[in-house]
């Protein structure tokens, strides 16, 4: 059901439009309310209606746009005009036009039954009808009315159920039962939709037959076969990881699937593809309800961990591990545990993978040797490497713009009161190689430069040379015992910490140290 408020007008052109359609045999006047002389004049027509509505609007000369015009439409012909008329009357009452003169015309010039409602924006007392947020209010009003009109709601539920691909009447009954309706088949082959103990709607025999024959089409059979394979794979991958209740919640939240259990069988409602499957076609009921086993859960956890890892490695740049797993429907807690909905998968993917990603994507200055730069990045990101060679993908080269941006940052650090805090705030890390040569790692830009290229004479690099990862390592919790190991996908690189450079925040400690030095000086 759709309601649309058309633009206000200075004249009652909505009446002219509907009367023209009436002359063409495409509309009819269904209701005329609050016209006092209507009972005394036998040939009351278009001009009389317009003349009276204009006389009502003349009581308030400040209102220039006098016409209220709205359209209420139902899909196809499932809702008859008698029901639409009652709904239109209730709608006008709720919107504040119920006491004004108004007309309701039924139109058949489109594939959908719809009515046009025309009224005045001035009340018989000469007051303007409040039109603030009228379009927003109209949607709330129609939603409220549909909830309180059981016949219309039942017709809509039946209309929705008939759009599904089904192979038997029982499937339609299950769809309606999920919406809270009872059903009953008559001797004539019709299906009665019941609620509140009354028949609210009747689905005709032809409608039922048309719905059932759609599943026999070759293209439909091919689609059903492909979807069935997808569901079997989905159930096989996720059911061993979650108990039956959690599995059903996951299917509903992430895949628009619902499971309806019967006495000795179950049905899968695929709302995404609007299809109903017998549960035995997807997974045997005994397997679906079987308790979890340790081995099955371990295998499932390994599959999910590998899936997340492979997705992250394929990104290689631009996404963190948490962002990658979120796109796949998972989430990571602060300790790196992988969750599927609210259920723990039983595997830990630490943010060390993020550190690897940062390290292999750092752009190095053209003057630096990759063979010499890689050990610096290993130290900065606390990676444990077998051999000192950089990854086979190589390290990208920094640009002149990267160099210039880092210089600007160091100039800002030079004039800061607390240079250590400024370096941290700008995400700059000063590194020192065994030969005493200093370098600057710009975490924000992902660039490594020699100090002599970007350094500032007002900054002493030896005072700020540090490895913040050690602090993260000291405070990071370790993975639980028995957690499956996850390989990085980068040859020769393994992990040993949970932290990343983003996790370190020494600013408060440095501020406290500065305040302590001031007190001692005084």
pLDDT in tens, the chain (522 residues): 789 999 989 999 999 999 999 889 899 999 999 887 765 555 677 888 899 999 999 999 899 999 999 999 887 776 788 888 988 999 999 999 999 999 999 998 888 889 999 999 999 999 999 988 898 899 888 888 877 677 888 888 888 888 888 877 778 888 888 787 888 888 888 899 887 567 888 988 888 888 888 877 888 888 888 888 888 888 887 787 777 777 888 888 878 888 888 777 888 888 888 888 888 888 888 888 887 676 766 666 667 766 666 665 555 444 566 676 777 667 777 666 777 666 666 666 654 555 555 566 677 888 887 777 777 776 666 554 444 445 544 567 888 888 888 888 888 888 888 888 888 888 888 888 777 788 888 877 788 888 888 877 778 777 766 443 333 333 333 434 443 333 333 333 332 222 222 233 344 445 555 655 565 565
115 and 41, same structural domain? yes
Strands 447-450 and 363-364: parallel
In angstroms, the CA 459 to CA 456 distance is 6
**Domain range holding 32?**
2-146
27 and 82, same structural domain? yes
Is 382 inside any structural domain?
A: no
b vs e for 310-346, b when ≥16 Cβ sit within 10 Å of the residue's Cβ? ebbbeeeeebbbbebbeeeebebeeebbbebbeeebb
106 and 237, same structural domain? no
Number of domains in the chain: 4
308 and 249, same structural domain? no
In angstroms, the CA 493 to CA 178 distance is 53
Is 182 inside any structural domain?
A: yes
Query: Model pTM?
Result: 0.39
Q: What is the pLDDT of residue 478?
A: 40
Q: What is the pLDDT of residue 379?
A: 65
123 and 23, same structural domain? yes
102 and 36, same structural domain? yes
Strands 102-107 and 27-33: antiparallel
The domain spanning residue 24 has which CATH number? Answer: 3.30.930.30
Is 397 inside any structural domain?
A: no
347 and 280, same structural domain? no
Is 258 inside any structural domain?
A: yes
39 and 128, same structural domain? yes
Strand partners, 202: 192
160 and 266, same structural domain? no
Last residue of a domain, one of 195, 215, 235: 215
Q: What is the pLDDT of residue 38?
A: 62
Last residue of a domain, one of 253, 272, 289: 289
- Is there a contact between 5 and 61 (Cβ–Cβ < 8 Å)? no
In 3D space, the residue among 205, 296, 281 whose CA is nearest the CA of residue 243 turns out to be: 296
Q: Kindly report the average pLDDT of the chain as a whole number.
A: 76
Is 436 inside any structural domain?
A: no
């Amino acid at each position: 059901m759709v309601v649309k408020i058309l633009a206000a007008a200075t004249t009652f052109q909505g009446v002219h439009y509907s009367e023209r359609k009436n002359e063409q045999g495409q509309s009819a006047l269904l209701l005329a309310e609050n016209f006092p002389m209507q009972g005394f004049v036998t040939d009351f027509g278009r001009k009389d209606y317009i003349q009276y509505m204009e006389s009502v609007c003349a009581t308030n000369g400040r209102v220039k746009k006098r016409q209220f015009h709205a359209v209420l439409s139902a899909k196809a012909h499932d809702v008859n005009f008698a029901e639409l008329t009652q709904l239109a009357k209730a709608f006008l009452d709720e919107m504040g036009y119920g006491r004004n003169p108004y007309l309701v015309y039924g139109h058949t010039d489109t594939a959908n039954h719809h009515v046009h409602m025309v009224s005045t924006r001035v009340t018989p007392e000469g007051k303007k009808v409040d039109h603030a947020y009228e379009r927003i209010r109209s949607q709330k009003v129609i939603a409220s009315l549909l909830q309180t009109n059981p016949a219309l709601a039942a017709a809509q539920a039946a209309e929705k159920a008939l759009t599904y691909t089904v192979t038997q009447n029982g499937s339609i009954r299950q769809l309606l039962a999920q919406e809270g309706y009872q059903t009953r088949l008559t001797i004539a082959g019709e299906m009665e939709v019941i609620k509140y103990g009354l028949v609210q709607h009747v689905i005709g025999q032809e409608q039922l037959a048309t719905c059932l024959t759609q599943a026999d089409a070759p293209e439909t059979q091919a689609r059903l076969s492909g979807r069935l394979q997808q569901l079997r794979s989905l159930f096989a991958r996720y059911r061993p990881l979650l108990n039956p209740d959690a599995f059903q919640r996951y299917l509903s939240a992430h895949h628009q699937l619902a499971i309806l259990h019967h006495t000795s069988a179950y049905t899968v409602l695929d709302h995404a593809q609007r299809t109903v499957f017998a549960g035995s076609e997807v997974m045997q009921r005994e397997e679906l309800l079987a308790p979890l086993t340790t081995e099955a859960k371990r295998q499932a956890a390994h599959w999910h961990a590998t899936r997340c890892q492979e997705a992250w490695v394929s990104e290689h740049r631009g996404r963190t591990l948490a962002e990658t797993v979120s796109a796949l429907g998972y989430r990571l807690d602060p300790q790196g545990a992988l969750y599927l909905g609210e259920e723990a998968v039983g595997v830990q993917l630490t943010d060390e993978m993020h550190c690897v990603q940062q390290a292999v994507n750092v752009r190095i200055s053209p003057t630096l040797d990759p063979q010499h730069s890689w050990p610096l990045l290993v130290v900065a990101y606390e990676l444990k490497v077998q051999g000192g060679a950089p990854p086979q993908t190589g390290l990208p080269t920094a640009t002149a713009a990267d160099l210039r941006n880092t210089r600007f940052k160091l100039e800002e650090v030079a004039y800061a009161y607390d240079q250590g805090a400024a370096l941290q705030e700008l995400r700059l890390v000063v590194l020192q190689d065994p030969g005493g040569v200093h370098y600057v790692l710009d975490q924000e830009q992902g660039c490594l430069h020699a100090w002599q290229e970007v350094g500032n004479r007002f900054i002493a690099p030896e005072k700020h040379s540090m490895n913040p990862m050690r602090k993260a390592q000291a405070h990071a919790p370790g993975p639980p015992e028995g957690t499956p190991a996850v390989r990085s996908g980068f040859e020769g690189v393994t992990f040993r910490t949970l932290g990343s450079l983003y996790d370190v925040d020494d600013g408060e400690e440095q501020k406290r140290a500065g305040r302590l030095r001031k007190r001692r000086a005084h």
